[in-house]
Structure 1
Amino acid sequence: GRSASRATARRWLQQVGVADLAERRPQTLSGGQAQRVAVARALAAEPDLLLLDEPMAALDVAVTPALRHTLRAVLADRTVLLVTHDALDALLLADRVVVVDGGRVVEVGPTREVLARPRSAFAAQVAGLNLVSGTWEGAAVVNPSLTVRGLPTSAVAAGAEVVAVFSPSAVAVFPQAPAGSPRNSFEATITDVEPLGDRVRIRTLVGSQAVAAEVTPGAAADLALVPGSRVHLLVKAVEVAVHPTGS
């Protein structure tokens, strides 16, 4: 009856931390409050499968962590299909991930494994990592734009198709190539400079290959890093993980 429905509604509002909003009208709720109420409404029906489509979209940055924490708690032991472009949402809320690019499934597996060791450009983009595809020749990944030395995570045959994966934070940026450096060194053109919390993401092209670096705001200012600038990128081989594309 109606009383049972009200009790269920209040129980789920309590679960998601908005029981005090029960008497409020929808148009008076903030974005974060409305999202929590939407989750409570969905869970109140006790669904066998819950679909969450970009649950953090359009939320204030101050609200997102609280809602993410709420979802992590109330979705435990439930079957949920979560659609997101945010790697943190996937890591905290999903056990397994299916990466879809252009309507095609490109990777499937445990969330942490896929995001730590992506084998597709789109998965690497979601994970915030650099990925260079090529063939394994000697001790390096080779493609038409650049050669990247790295460490294979498993046995790799010469000529095999592989990817080199490394974090933007592992990429050092210099105005000129340091003399005698044994590291991977690439001449690049800056395409974008993007503030990212207490860091600055520098997006570049090495030939046709996109490579991102991260520096401090002070370094970005001192080096006058702006779109169109030519720079040299250095990456230690030990920071580059090489994975076969077929495993």
Structure 2
Amino acid sequence: MTTHLIFPAKAPVTAEIVGTDARFPVNRIFCVGRNYHAHAAEMGVTVDKSTQEPFYFIKDASTLVPSGSTVAYPPQTANYHYEMEFVVAIGKAGFEVAEDNADELIYGYACGLDMTRRDLQLKARETGRPWDLGKDFEESAVLAPIYRKEDVGVITEGNLELSVGGEQKQKTTLGLLIWNVREVIAHLSKLYHLQPGDLIYTGTPEGVGPVVAGDVITGKIDNVGDISLTIA
């Protein structure tokens, strides 16, 4: 029996890989919340690693746009924020992975932007509702080309920075992540069966802020290239 779709299925979402014409098929986008102490503080909360666990929100793969894109200012917000992030691309399935084995799941790394409707996120937080409206919306996950781990090695350190219109807004080092990449993979793999194609946005540092139409965002991470986005 032949199955007929009532409308065309969406094409798979894929990302560019540095040094090859092959593409990285994107499965899920996991984002780590409040993974730098200074950013948590600017959001009005504190994080105690000794008593707390990491937490996550998810963006649909359809929200992904490549670095260099021009995106529309999103609807129903008056406080549209950038968040520069170190992204880990998963290339191997894993469940309940030990920290010592976490690197085995990594395919590569990229620069990312977690674009946020901050007013909608804060309204949801204040009322105890999910963050979806503030985080999971069209063109809200920006991704630069992925650098393969086999080419750049295992990355645990490096500077991260973001500028708007040439003015630096965010600057940190990956060493200041509260939960490092191995810890995040090990913890996340207790909650989900991680799959090839999953992306993990590991969290943003302090200095987040609004952008308006006409702004150009640029960012970079040592050994992971750079990223850009224009707000239409």
Query: Is the shorter-chain TM-score for this pair beyond 0.5, marking a shared fold?
Result: no
Q: TM-score, normalised by structure 1?
A: 0.22
Q: Greater CA radius of gyration, 1 or 2? A: 1
Q: TM-score, normalised by structure 2?
A: 0.23
Structure number with greater CO (CA < 8 Å, separation at least 6) is: 2
Q: Which protein is richer in helix relative to its size?
A: 1
